[in-house]
Amino acid sequence: MNEAPLHGRVVLVCTAERPPGTKPSCGAAGIALLLELRERIESLRPGDEIRVIPTGCLGACEHRAVVADVRGDGTLYVDVSPEDMDELARRLVSLTEEDTWDTTL
């Protein structure tokens, strides 16, 4: 096994989908959230090294729309609705390299 540096911030968005009638999953809501979040982050910080990546289950399935800020402050955002997108995007881009809040946005 080798190690490689992971540059920039990584934000994971659950897009896991289970068959109907089974345990809840993020599925289509997660995909819509992922695309919207990418767009908003790009508009706030064009070219910034914040990568919004689809991922499998993050273990909070009952909340359906789940975002993990892996390389930032480690927060798991759950129950994310379309009304939350402005605030979420601003939070994700406002952490400085030292992981402190930048209130200038």
Residues that bind ligand FES (CB under 6 A): 14, 16, 25-26, 57-61, 66
CA distance 80 to 103: 22
Q: Residue 44 or 78: which CB sits closer to ligand FES?
A: 78
Q: How far is the CB of 102 from ligand FES (least distance, A)?
A: 28
**Interior angle at CA 83, CA 15 and CA 44, nearest 5:** 80
| Three-state DSSP state, 83 | helix
Q: Which of 4, 9, 21 is nearest to 96 (CA)?
A: 9
Residue number with CB closer to ligand FES (59 or 82): 59
Min CB(56)–ligand FES separation in Å: 7
Q: How far apart are CA 24 and CA 30, in angstroms?
A: 12
Q: Which is nearer to ligand FES, 44 or 76 (CB)?
A: 76
Query: CB of residue 28 vs ligand FES: minimum separation in angstroms?
Result: 11
Q: Which residue lies nearer to ligand FES by CB, 62 or 102?
A: 62
Q: Minimum CB separation from ligand FES for residue 20, in Å?
A: 14
In the block, residue with structure tokens 């402005």: 86
DSSP class of residue 48 equals -
